[in-house]
Structure 1
């Protein structure tokens, strides 16, 4: 969340192809958003980025897929305005393919939810929800930042309902989350999505996974499948070739 008058930084991601204005302190876009964008299917045409923040994942996807349109959905008006500015300032300008909607995911989860973004109009939903469970992590005393960072694992339910409502039949969901939330995520996806794929992300080959990249298809009943893990750094601490390809070159997994 962006507070009025808060200092901003101008950051280069994807090897300089993505420029982001974002708050100097608090929640900042980084590898999670870029990995999420890289995990999305290459044939997506109408994407919605739920809880987009300043737009990192959705804009990275728009850069990677030049034929796709992307709707950025953000609850905080100041942050949504920053996402709009970020879309306008890319080279080339993405404003013709990217729009920003200020909306609450919990309202979008209702059957009679808001008209925009439209129900059953997306073929892809991206989701990088707040996932520092307050039962496990210290929560910021600043309410707006806490909203950006922290939500209990069980509170993922309205996000999944919103994704289901926004997606057309056979539409796909791509999300990133913590490994500890896997059981909750699978339970929430059950009955709504199938063909679930789970790709662990490891900081080093010998280290436990720190993130899960999860894909799913609306209306399918195919059982879940684990995919080969992604390793971000080699033994020398330098980025792996795969990490370079995804995080700097902006390619898909």
Structure 2
């Protein structure tokens, strides 16, 4: 059987070689923003759930050469593609991909300094995509996002961080799931499409065993009045700058 067609490109202004499926679910700017918000340091380990073709892990590895990481992806074809992307960038010694489901992870007894995800938050009330991989990436049963948060928290060392990128409309559910999983001191970074426009996406970060309620941060404006990325967004998306949430 022939492999599904792929497109070949780059992330972070050419610093990362990246292939992804031509059809089905394709990465946008979300994994790059997610990776920028993970507060990892050299020698720390990061786990990503639902890693797809590996965009977030690749961007994180480019930004922080001293970290190691693991991605879990339930679609075997995407998991294999992520592994090929890692090899193409020369990072197989410090990044690994496992085919499996984060709610029944194919790893036992391992803990990580940081975990991250772009979970499937949509409830399927709208018109679903005809492509299976797009549906799987976006649409979830009502309790699935909360189960993802619980599963991520279970793989986390004490005081380690969980970082999520999610639709703004799902922030309340995400905060409730984080609190129920023992995650506190939540920080929320709105991603404004333009100045004065409502945020459609949020970055949420919380720490295991931490106390304190949520704090809304000033946020990042993605586009200027002409539709181009702002200088602050370009610094993250093209030049590998980090986003500090806490």
Same fold judged by TM-score > 0.5? yes
Displacement after TM superposition at 1:161 (Å): 1.1
1:215 equivalent among 189, 197, 205: 205
Q: What RMSD, in angstroms, separates the aligned Cα atoms of the two structures?
A: 1.6
Query: Is residue 2:149 matched to residue 1:166?
Result: no
Deviation sequence 1:76-110 (CA, Å, 0-9, x none): 111100000000001xx1111101111112213xx
Displacement after TM superposition at 1:249 (Å): 0.2
Displacement after TM superposition at 1:4 (Å): 5.8
Paired residue for 2:36?
38
Paired residue for 1:182?
171
Determine the C-alpha separation between the residues in 2 that align with 1:153 and 1:32. Answer: 22
Determine the C-alpha separation between the residues in 1 that align with 2:2 and 2:33. Answer: 29
Q: State TM-score, norm by structure 2.
A: 0.93
4+ runs deviating over 3 angstroms: 141-145
Q: How does 1:75-154 map to 2 (within 5 A)?
A: 75-90=74-89, 93-108=90-105, 114=106, 116=107, 118-119=108-109, 121-135=111-125, 137-152=126-141, 154=143
Paired residue for 2:187?
197
Determine the C-alpha separation between the residues in 1 that align with 2:152 and 2:137. Answer: 19
Displacement after TM superposition at 1:43 (Å): 2.2
Runs (5+) with no aligned partner, structure 2: none
Runs (5+) with no aligned partner, structure 1: 109-113
Query: Contact (CA 8 Å) 1:154, 1:184: kept in 2 or not?
Result: no
Determine the C-alpha separation between the residues in 2 that align with 1:230 and 1:81. Answer: 33
Change (3 A) 1:78 1:201: same
Paired residue for 1:247?
237
Q: State TM-score, norm by structure 1.
A: 0.90
Determine the C-alpha separation between the residues in 2 that align with 1:65 and 1:144. Answer: 29
Deviates more, 1:182-191 or 1:196-205: 182-191
Determine the C-alpha separation between the residues in 2 that align with 1:119 and 1:145. Answer: 31
Displacement after TM superposition at 1:153 (Å): 5.2
Determine the C-alpha separation between the residues in 1 that align with 2:138 and 2:52. Answer: 11
Paired residue for 1:63?
62
Determine the C-alpha separation between the residues in 2 that align with 1:185 and 1:236. Answer: 33
Query: Contact (CA 8 Å) 2:40, 2:114: kept in 1 or not?
Result: no
Q: How many residues align?
A: 241
SS at match of 2:104: helix
